[in-house]
Structure 1
């Protein structure tokens, strides 16, 4: 027969810690819920001797009910739980909150009730809390004693706390111990009702996550005290129903800090509190997601665009973005858009793994894409098992697999082929007048033409045309039809690049030319004005440097002759690890062809 931990329920309800008790589920019931909150389920548990109906499953485990994993008669191991108390018709009753559970034997296999359990009354002293992984308990506390506890435990680090998962607006005496996983910048607003500022942070403990926000003077009070990654004791915040428009965390509630809030840094090493909590969705599943769905995703960066400046249609504001393509072992690739500072600071070289929490699903041109929003979190190369497994897959075979892109790129194909110049010629790229072809090539710079490599341009960002120097200190822009007393320098590098199979003359515009020369156009312009020899030396230093070029090639007619024009679309340092893998794969395919021919 199946062995239950007999007597476990009496011990638990009397505050005695029971490690991973084995219990039987004899039924469950959905609890009436408030508007816009997740379903909650009340469990009927048995230890073979006692019955207890004052047990609740945390909402993060609801899938065990909805997918019929946790059914009547199931034998389960309670891996983690917590106790709290509620007022039930004037009586204080202890509630066991199930934080983690493992089904040992499905109910369909057990098929009956084990033993002859009788109902326990659930009575206990009021307002007492304990957790299965700590030996401390919280006795009845007033707001003043909470403050006293925080001060007295500044050095002992043994402060009694309750899990985030059991917080509710009906409790006002609690302390949580949680890690800050994400902290926003301070944001300001102004409308007809006034103006103000706020910041928010995401908190996590072993049981759940919750969003916490501070406004106005409270924002100033706490912002500089909080650092992402640190663990804090927090008490006396207001709890209210979560606004899902601004938070992607799976919690019915959110916290608001007040002038009465207490916050204390925890100095102890708490490995049991995770750095982040993810619920990853395979990239291949995104094709079945609805627009504006929020998901967590894990992927390896294969390619990424340069920073782009776009204008928001609704407001006319200029936005900064960068598109990043990621793949996973589901055999699919998708474009993830980063914004603002995150886009500017992003470094995608050496194929990092990205763990993204709260990415928004979008649709474009019949494809799917993902976009980070204010509440999203991006972790680069996270130290989690899923990331380690994905790295092994990508290193061993994933980088060689043909993956399906779910996204339809708007500004070029980031999955374009890597060719030699000889291969590009054989593919007849750019020969059609009505088509622009693109490809990548690993090449070395032979020469940069000095003539017209830098020019004085219109100071208006959207123009950038070459100015006419009127020799009066005034510069004329024919496009804008205006005179300007100033200008900006811009680069236009006409260069010859080569690989083992051939060479091409290409044009690299300002941003890419700056990457090649390692200096801004303004700095080079000043250098040319003050020290032409040093300027020439700087141009010569670029010779024999090797890069990965993305080229656009098209045919055009010039003076009644057809010619190929090559333009540099982007440039990146050569990732030797990836390139060597590409060459090995190419050699392997050539050897296979030769074997077939010899056979």
Structure 2
């Protein structure tokens, strides 16, 4: 079993399956064929074979666009060196979907490698695969050196220090699983959801939301250990997590961190007075909204505590700065850092240490709010700015480059509108100067 022994670190953890696994044996793991580590693959290689374990497998989905229609499914595999996403379309769906089982090991070869689309993949790999007519997938005798999962678990208390929309691996005890509820999406589709209250040894709680089939089938009896690989971090109601289509949810996984959590909770965790990072809205009371006027916020010196504070207010947008309201950001799903254009025409992200052929626009909007007694500058991020302006960052970014008059009109229409704002306030220090945000 391979894993990172240091507790409390953010080192990637690789978990190997328990011995004695009964995988179907079509090819021996000691086969003489040359096996390449996943981390060494690139589009310029013509002949390679990987030996990897399936860690996540989607359902078959239908697609339709101007070029036609069809079906697809995707799956993720891991070996000792890394992980990669693989997608199959149409005929390859019929050929491979029933063959692949989560947790089993396979030899995979003759697939096409391309640059990964980070909008649809959260894996830390620059490339992804597409299967075609000549692709080969052969079941392999299980190999204990191949991990069952590659996770980089973050303690719940650390979520306050992570960027909004970050992709997080988290593990915790499910203290409570709420009943399944159903919501109707904008396209009139009904979706199931279930909220899990997770706690870990940091004595902090967070609510993680499961969707669809995962929400329906989840069983929270016995307060199980729940690990989620690839959840999105939100600042809705403080800090909360949401499972994505690509997320992997594991209940009572056979991994060292789960054993440590179980032992901690059974010994002392069940009795601790934990603090939740997620504030729940009440349907019949405004008591949890922490209503304040802007003058209250200043007079009470909110934001001067060690941890951020939250309040709600009714305020009017007086002015929004158009300058630098959108920026060119890294296109990776788990990164929103500003990119730098290079002499070769590519866009470089210093955080990811990669160059991309394109970028995505992101909002970073400064707005001045006013109520009957005071005014305050606030910073609005992606979703909030989209609500205030009524347009996506992509649309505003393109308007700024192509139609300045239309760009200005968007801001004029958004001014002097009144909204209910849920705010996070924290005193930050920059180069010896301080400001409330």
| Aligned residue number for residue 213 of structure 1 | 87
| Aligned residue number for residue 294 of structure 1 | 167
1:401 equivalenced with 2:275 (yes/no): no
CA distance in 2, matches of 1:213, 1:297: 26
| Aligned residue number for residue 239 of structure 2 | 368
Native 8 Å contact 1:180 1:229 kept in 2: yes
| Aligned residue number for residue 305 of structure 1 | 178
| Aligned residue number for residue 257 of structure 1 | 131
Q: Which has the larger radius of gyration?
A: 1
* Deviation (angstroms), 1:158: 4.0
CA distance in 1, matches of 2:72, 2:282: 36
* Deviation (angstroms), 1:215: 0.9
Task: Provide the secondary structure at the position in 1 that maps to 2:232.
Answer: strand
* Deviation (angstroms), 1:153: 5.9
Alignment of 1:135-146 (within 5 A): none
Which ranges of structure 2 fall in alignment gaps of 5 or more residues? 1-9, 14-25, 285-437
Residue of structure 1 aligned with 2:72, choices 190, 193, 198: 198
Residue of structure 1 aligned with 2:203, choices 326, 331, 335: 331
Native 8 Å contact 2:167 2:231 kept in 1: yes
| Aligned residue number for residue 215 of structure 2 | 343
Residue of structure 1 aligned with 2:118, choices 219, 244, 262: 244
* Deviation (angstroms), 1:409: 1.9
Which ranges of structure 1 fall in alignment gaps of 5 or more residues? 1-66, 68-98, 101-151, 414-599
Once the two structures are superposed, residues 296-348 of structure 1 have per-residue CA deviations (whole angstroms, 9 ceiling, x without a partner) of 00000001110101112x22221110101100011210001011111111100
CA distance in 2, matches of 1:369, 1:304: 15
Native 8 Å contact 1:214 1:258 kept in 2: yes
| Aligned residue number for residue 279 of structure 1 | 152
Residues 330 and 194 from structure 1, CA distance in 2 versus in 1: closer, same or farther, beyond 3 angstroms? same
Alignment of 1:165-184 (within 5 A): 165-184=39-58
Alignment of 1:416-455 (within 5 A): none
TM-score of the aligned structures, taking structure 2 as reference length: 0.58
Once the two structures are superposed, residues 100-140 of structure 1 have per-residue CA deviations (whole angstroms, 9 ceiling, x without a partner) of 9xxxxxxxxxxxxxxxxxxxxxxxxxxxxxxxxxxxxxxxx
Residue of structure 2 aligned with 1:355, choices 203, 227, 245: 227
Residues 155 and 252 from structure 1, CA distance in 2 versus in 1: closer, same or farther, beyond 3 angstroms? closer
CA distance in 1, matches of 2:101, 2:208: 27
Native 8 Å contact 2:34 2:48 kept in 1: no
Residue of structure 1 aligned with 2:107, choices 224, 233, 252: 233
CA distance in 1, matches of 2:206, 2:28: 47
Native 8 Å contact 2:156 2:200 kept in 1: yes
Higher mean alpha-carbon deviation, 191-200 vs 294-303, is at 191-200
Q: CA RMSD in A?
A: 2.5
* Deviation (angstroms), 1:178: 0.4
TM-score of the aligned structures, taking structure 1 as reference length: 0.42
Native 8 Å contact 1:157 1:266 kept in 2: no
Residues 166 and 290 from structure 1, CA distance in 2 versus in 1: closer, same or farther, beyond 3 angstroms? same
Native 8 Å contact 2:29 2:143 kept in 1: no
Native 8 Å contact 1:358 1:377 kept in 2: yes
Task: Provide the secondary structure at the position in 2 that maps to 1:287.
Answer: helix
Once the two structures are superposed, residues 41-96 of structure 1 have per-residue CA deviations (whole angstroms, 9 ceiling, x without a partner) of xxxxxxxxxxxxxxxxxxxxxxxxxx9xxxxxxxxxxxxxxxxxxxxxxxxxxxxx
CA distance in 1, matches of 2:252, 2:30: 34
CA distance in 1, matches of 2:124, 2:223: 30
Native 8 Å contact 2:175 2:223 kept in 1: yes
Residues 331 and 154 from structure 1, CA distance in 2 versus in 1: closer, same or farther, beyond 3 angstroms? closer
| Aligned residue number for residue 287 of structure 2 | none
Native 8 Å contact 1:153 1:159 kept in 2: no
Once the two structures are superposed, residues 392-442 of structure 1 have per-residue CA deviations (whole angstroms, 9 ceiling, x without a partner) of 1111111111111011123679xxxxxxxxxxxxxxxxxxxxxxxxxxxxx
Figure out how many residues of one structure are paired with residues of the other and give that number: 264
Once the two structures are superposed, residues 156-186 of structure 1 have per-residue CA deviations (whole angstroms, 9 ceiling, x without a partner) of 7343201101001110110100000111000
The structure, 1 or 2, with the larger RCO (C-alpha pairs under 8 Å, 6+ apart) is 2
Alignment of 1:454-469 (within 5 A): none
CA distance in 2, matches of 1:190, 1:153: 37
| Aligned residue number for residue 162 of structure 1 | 36
Residues 344 and 412 from structure 1, CA distance in 2 versus in 1: closer, same or farther, beyond 3 angstroms? farther
| Aligned residue number for residue 552 of structure 1 | none
Native 8 Å contact 1:199 1:214 kept in 2: yes
Task: Provide the secondary structure at the position in 2 that maps to 1:395.
Answer: helix
CA distance in 2, matches of 1:411, 1:199: 39
CA distance in 2, matches of 1:321, 1:262: 37
| Aligned residue number for residue 257 of structure 2 | 386
Residues 358 and 265 from structure 1, CA distance in 2 versus in 1: closer, same or farther, beyond 3 angstroms? same
